[in-house]
Amino acid sequence: MASEKHEEQMRFEEIVPREWFRGDQPPRLRIRCYQMARATLQAFHSRPLCIATDRAVISLFYGQMPYFANPDVNVSVGMDFQLEVDAANLRRDLPEGAYTVLMVPQLETEYSSRLALEFTAGLVSSILGRNAAYRLIFDNTLDIVGDSTTINNGDVIRVPLADDPPDLSRSRVGMIPTATSNFSALPEAERNRVELALHWHAEAISSPAVDQFLKQWIALEALGMSDRENIRPLNVSLGEAYGCSTEEAQQRFGVGRIFGFRSKILHRGQRLPIFGILEHYVEALFRDVLFHKLGLPPVGHAAQVVASPGFDLRYLLHET
Per residue, what are the HEC states of the chain? CCCCCCCCCCCHHHHCCHHHCECCECCEEEEEEEECCCCCHHHHCCCCEEEECCCCEEEEEEECCEEECCCEEEEEECCCEEEEEECCCCEEECCCEEEEEEEEECCCCHHHHHHHHHHHHHHHHHHHCHHHHCEEEEEEEEECCCCEEEECCCCCCCCHHHCCCCCCCHHHHCHHHHHHHHHHCCCHHHHHHHHHHHHHHHHHCCCCHHHHHHHHHHHHHHHHCCCCCCCHHHHHHHHHHHCCCHHHHHHHHCHHHHHHHHHHHHCCCCCCCCCHHHHHHHHHHHHHHHHHHCCCCCCCHHHHHHCCCCCCHHHHCCCC
How confident is the prediction along the chain (320 residues), in pLDDT tens digits per residue? 544 445 566 666 677 787 887 777 777 889 999 999 999 988 887 678 899 998 899 999 999 888 887 766 564 544 454 556 566 667 888 999 999 999 998 877 777 888 889 899 999 999 999 999 999 888 988 886 666 667 665 545 566 677 788 999 999 999 999 999 999 999 999 999 999 999 999 988 877 666 888 899 999 999 988 766 788 999 999 999 999 999 999 999 999 999 988 888 877 777 788 888 898 999 999 999 999 999 999 999 999 999 999 999 999 999 87
Per-residue pLDDT reduced to its tens digit, 97-134: 999 999 998 877 777 888 889 899 999 999 999 999 99
Looking at the fold, whether 115 and 38 belong to one and the same domain comes out as: yes
Looking at the fold, whether 105 and 205 belong to one and the same domain comes out as: no
Looking at the fold, whether 298 and 211 belong to one and the same domain comes out as: yes
CA nearest neighbour of 120 among 234, 235, 222, 30:
30
Residue 202 counted as domain residue: yes
Residue 158 counted as domain residue: yes
Residue finishing a domain among 162, 195, 222: 162
Looking at the fold, whether 65 and 148 belong to one and the same domain comes out as: yes
pLDDT for res 79 = 44
Q: Is 278 exposed, middle or buried (0-12, 13-18, 19+ CB in 10 A)?
A: buried
Quote the number of domains for the chain: 2
Looking at the fold, whether 154 and 194 belong to one and the same domain comes out as: no
Looking at the fold, whether 135 and 245 belong to one and the same domain comes out as: no
Looking at the fold, whether 112 and 222 belong to one and the same domain comes out as: no
User: What letter represents residue 259's amino acid?
Assistant: F
Looking at the fold, whether 105 and 29 belong to one and the same domain comes out as: yes
pLDDT for res 247 = 94
Looking at the fold, whether 135 and 25 belong to one and the same domain comes out as: yes
Looking at the fold, whether 140 and 57 belong to one and the same domain comes out as: yes
Looking at the fold, whether 34 and 147 belong to one and the same domain comes out as: yes
Residue finishing a domain among 128, 162, 196: 162
Q: State the pTM of this model.
A: 0.75
Looking at the fold, whether 197 and 123 belong to one and the same domain comes out as: no
Residue 210 counted as domain residue: yes
Owning domain of residue 218: 187-316
Write down how long the chain is: 320
Residue 181 counted as domain residue: no
pLDDT for res 88 = 63
Q: For 22, left (φ over 0), alpha (ψ -120 to 50), or beta? A: beta
Residue 173 counted as domain residue: no
Residue 170 counted as domain residue: no
Residue 110 counted as domain residue: yes
pLDDT for res 69 = 78
Residue 169 counted as domain residue: no
